[in-house]
Structure 1
C-alpha cells in the first residue's frame, strides 16, 4: 500500500493559497451574485438614462438609501442572534418626532433634541428586549405589537401634524445637506455604522458570542454566555440606530 505525501514546499504554499482566496471566500457566493445583479441593474439604467450614473444622482440615491441601510445593518445583527425586530420603522418615527419637538421646545437646542431622540431609542429598544426575553414573547409577535404601538405613540405626541422646523439650525442642516470630501454626511454616517458593526461582529468576543447564540443557544448558555443580557443589548442597539435614523430623517425633511 502506498500513501500520498506532501512536500514541505507544498505545505508552505497551502496557507498562502488559502490567504489569496480569502477575500472571495469571505464575500461568499450569494453576496457575489447579488453584487453582480446590482452591477447589471446599474448598467441597464445607465443605458436607459444618461444622467442616471452621474455623481449628483448617485449622491441622491445614497442619501435616500441611508435610513433603510442603517436599519438593515442592525436588523442583520438581531437576525444573527436568532431574533427579529419588525418595529424599527415605527421606532424611527418616534425618534424623529421627539427630536423635532424637543428641539423647538428647548429654544432650538440641537444637542438636547438629539439626546432626547437617542434616549427614546434606548428605552424603546430595551422595552422590546425585556418583553421578548423575560416576558417570553415570540420576537415576531412582540415587535409586531411594537410596530403599531410606537406608530400610535408618534401620532399621539405629534397630534398627527408635522412638528418643529429644524432647518434654521446649522447642525441639522449639516446632517441633512452637508458634505464631507464630496460625500453627503448621511452617507458617511451609514459607512461609519457599517464599519463599526462589521468590526464588532468579526473581530470581538461580542460578535463571536452573538453568532454562538444564533447558532445554538443551548450550547452558548452552557459555555457561560449570558444570553438574556446579550439579547436585551442587541434590541437596545437597534433602538439607538433607529434613533439615529430618525434624527437623519428629521434633518433631511426639515
Structure 2
C-alpha cells in the first residue's frame, strides 16, 4: 500500500507533463495551419476573415465545451444539434409574439437544460447507454423542432435589436460571441480544475465504481454534465438565431459530429477521465482554421464532410493507440 502511495505524486506529475506536451503540440499544429492558410490564400490574414474565424471558433467552441464535460465522464451527447434546433425555433417564436428579450434568453436556456436533464435521467435512472439515449433525443428533438415550426423558418421582427446584439454586436473590437466563448471557457476551466465537482467528473470518467466507493454521487455527477451540455447548446442556439434573425428547424444539423471532433482533437479521451477545456479551445481553433482553409481553397461542402469525418477517425485512432502504449508501458 505504501508503494502505491509513494508512486501517486510521480504518476500525477507524469500525467501533468503529458497534458503539457499534448497542449504544446496542439498549439504548434494551430500555428502550422495558420501559416499554411496564409500561404494558400493571402485572404486568410484579412481582418474581416480573421473575425469570421474567431466567430466560428466561438460557435463551435461553446457547444464543444459542454460536450467536453460529458465525454470526461465517458459519456457522449449526440443530441446537441437537435437541442440547438429546438431552442432556435422556440426562442424565435417567443420573439415573434413579442416576449421581452431577457425572458426569451432565460426560456431558451431553460429549454436546453430541460432536454439535457432528460438525457441525464435516461442515462442515470433509466440506465440507458449514453449513445442510445442521446441518439433518441437527437431524433425526438429534431422532430420537435419541425413540429413547433411546422417545418418552416420562424422570423422575428426587427424590433428585437437588443437581441441581435448577442450575435452581431461588438465589444472592444471583438464580436460579442467571442467574449461569451472566453467567459464560458474560463468558467469551465475553473470548475474542472479547482472545484470538487470538477474532480468528481474526472474520477467518474476514470473509474465510476472506485468513485462510487469513495463517496462520490456518480448519478448526480453524470446527470449534471448533461444539463451543462444542454445549457451550452442552448446558448449556441441563441447566438446563432441572433446573428441570422431567423429560427431554422434544420439548425445544428451535424453539429454534434463537429463538436465531438473538436473535443477529441483537443485531447479529451472518448474513454473518459482525461482531457480539459484548454485542449477543447485549441481544438475549436484548429477545426475553424481547417474549415476556413477549405473554404478559401474552394473545396466543395461535400468534400469538406469527408475531411471532417477523416479527422474524427484519425483523432480516435491516435487516442486509442496512445492508451495502448501507456497501458503496455505501465
Fold in common (TM above 0.5): yes
| Alignment partners' CA distance in 1, 2:17 and 2:163 | 41
Corresponding residue of 2:298: none
State the alpha-carbon separation in 1 of the partners of residues 218 and 19 from structure 2: 28
- In structure 1, the residue matched to 2:137 is 146
Count residues in correspondence. 232
The offset of 1:249, in angstroms, is 0.8
Aligned to 1:224, which of 215, 223, 243? Answer: 215
TM-superposed deviation, 1:34: 2.1
Task: Provide the rounded CA distance (Å) in 1 between the counterparts of 2:163 and 2:56.
Answer: 17
Quickly say closer, same or farther: Cα 1:53–1:166, change in 2 above 3 A.
Answer: farther
Q: Identify which range, 205-214 or 161-170, moves more after superposition.
A: 161-170
State the 1:115 CA deviation.
1.6
Which residue is equivalent to 1:136?
Answer: 127
What is the SS of the residue equivalent to 1:168?
coil
How far off is 1:30 after superposition?
2.4
The counterpart of 1:164, out of the listed 132, 155, 158, is: 155
- CA distance, structure 1, for counterparts of residue 223 and residue 47 of structure 2: 41
Residue 88 of structure 1: CA displacement? 0.6
Instruction: Tell me if 1:176 matches 2:194.
Output: no
C-alpha deviation, 1:26, in angstroms: 7.4
The structure 2 residue matched to 1:88, chosen from 80, 88, 112, is: 80
- Aligned residues: CA RMSD: 1.8
SS of the equivalent of 1:40 reads helix
Match of 1:50 in 2: 42
Q: Deviations over 1:137-179 (max 9, x none)?
A: 0001111111111011101101111113254322222111111
Find the counterpart in structure 2 of residue 40 from structure 1.
32
- The alpha carbon displacement at 1:35 in A equals 1.8
The CA deviation at 1:127 is 0.4
Does the 8 A contact of 2:95 with 2:160 survive in 1? no
Q: How does 1:10-21 map to 2 (within 5 A)?
A: none
Aligned-partner SS, 1:51 = helix
Q: Which runs of 5+ in 1 are unaligned?
A: 1-20
Greater CA drift, 176-185 or 57-66:
57-66
Is the partner of 1:28 in helix, strand or coil? Answer: helix
Contact 1:166 1:250 in 2 (8 A): no
Map of 2:282 onto structure 1: none
Structure 1 stretches of 4+ moved >3 Å = 24-27
Mapped to 2, the partners of 1:134 and 1:82 lie a distance apart of 17
Contact map agreement 1:121 1:243 (CA 8 A) in 2: yes
Query: What displacement does 1:25 show?
Result: 3.4
**TM-score of the two chains, using structure 1 as the length reference:** 0.86
In the alignment, the residues of structure 2 paired with residue 160 and residue 56 of structure 1 have an alpha-carbon distance, to the nearest angstrom, of 34
The equivalent of 1:18 in structure 2 is none
Residues 86 and 140, structure 1, Cα contact 8 Å, conserved in 2: yes
Taking the aligned partners of 1:37 and 1:76, their CA distance within structure 2 comes to 20
What is residue 123 of structure 1 aligned with on the other side?
A: 114
SS of equivalent to 2:43: coil
